[in-house]
Amino acid sequence: MADPVVASHLSLVLKAPPTISSPSHSLPQQHSKPMASSLNSAASLRLFVSSSSSSSSAAARLCLRSTSLSFSSSLKSLAFSPLSRHKRGSAVSMSSTGGFSSVASPKCAASDPDQLKSAREDIKELLKSKFCHPILVRLGWHDAGTYNKNIEEWPRRGGANGSLRFEVELKHAANAGLVNALNLIQHIKDKYSGVTYADLFQLASATAIEEAGGPKIPMKYGRVDVSGPNECPEEGRLPAAGPPSPADHLREVFYRMGLNDKEIVALSGAHTLGRSRPERSGWGKPETKYTKDGPGAPGGQSWTVQWLKFDNSYFKDIKAKRDEDLLVLPTDAVLFEDPSFKVYAEKYAEDQETFFKDYAEAHAKLSNLGAKFNPPED
């Protein structure tokens, strides 16, 4: 799941303690500690939406809209929840002097459809310049993948609610390096204040899959953001890469989300994108013949030869086991060892069309887990 400049790997599997630098300024007492504010040579990161008088006015105007648009994440059939009023919590923003301020967000709905369309175009340009497909997919997955179907209350149930923007969750071991993904898209969030973090994370994830050559994802939007770090889920809801019993571990984690064996295998196929960096995850080689020249920052070990192309190579390469420069984690290998998983893994290795169909459905389902839509779903 990673931007060649920053990325480690794509899906919900690697755990390693992240290294997060903190700005020199302190957050107000009621907020958690500030998170990292730089991406290599990048300038400071604004974590949360600024609420200047002009942006407040614009947001207030958005509240008056009641629109229903449908178009895919390829702008053909992607369904949006229409706008209605919803109270947002406090936001924290960087002031012009570099300090943090606490301001109240205006009462408004979830995301504005027109701004979502524009944000998608900006994400496509970002992908072209930064090659960050894997880490953006991982960002969306890790925000949604904390969902617990056994907990009804929102946001305590976890899921796609934008909580991954807060330092307390970014510091979870499984989220190592994802502060870099947030750095990459923060300017888009600043530009389109009418888009929630929850929607932006999932929009970026689906767009990255499609722009890498993958299937069109039947996405919908209108997710509501959590308002503060106190609403982040506890650590430990995301999968590990090398558990003692990989098949049991995958089922324990993904069944808790309401996913089944077919969806586990299909989603695992997204490892066709990205690299693992041992300094972050503890897995993989520092460099291989496939990663030593980038694109982007060199290094890491990929699951596939063309690790920025979405196809069914992941399943073919695991099955073949012929290339020592390609990564195979215990949670990858088990897909061809467990009898139930193997049925789907074998099928996807032979039939890319079936893989694409099943992947698109599983990705869309994952992106909606735990989300509260505004207006509410029927």
Query: Catalytic residue positions?
Result: 142
What does the alpha-carbon distance between residue 177 and residue 19 come to, in Å, rounded to a whole number?
7
60: left (phi over 0), alpha (psi -120 to 50) or beta: alpha
Q: At what angle do helices 339-350 and 261-268 cross, to 10 degrees?
A: 50
180: tokens are 């870099």
Residue 11 contacts by C-beta under 8 Å, 6 or more apart in sequence? 1, 137, 138, 141, 267, 268, 270, 271
Which ranges of 225-274 would DSSP assign to H, the alpha helix? 246-256, 261-268
What does the alpha-carbon distance between residue 91 and residue 322 come to, in Å, rounded to a whole number?
51
Pairing of strands 275-276, 301-302: antiparallel
What does the alpha-carbon distance between residue 56 and residue 327 come to, in Å, rounded to a whole number?
48
What does the alpha-carbon distance between residue 91 and residue 341 come to, in Å, rounded to a whole number?
43
Contact at 8 Å (CB) between 165 and 6?
no
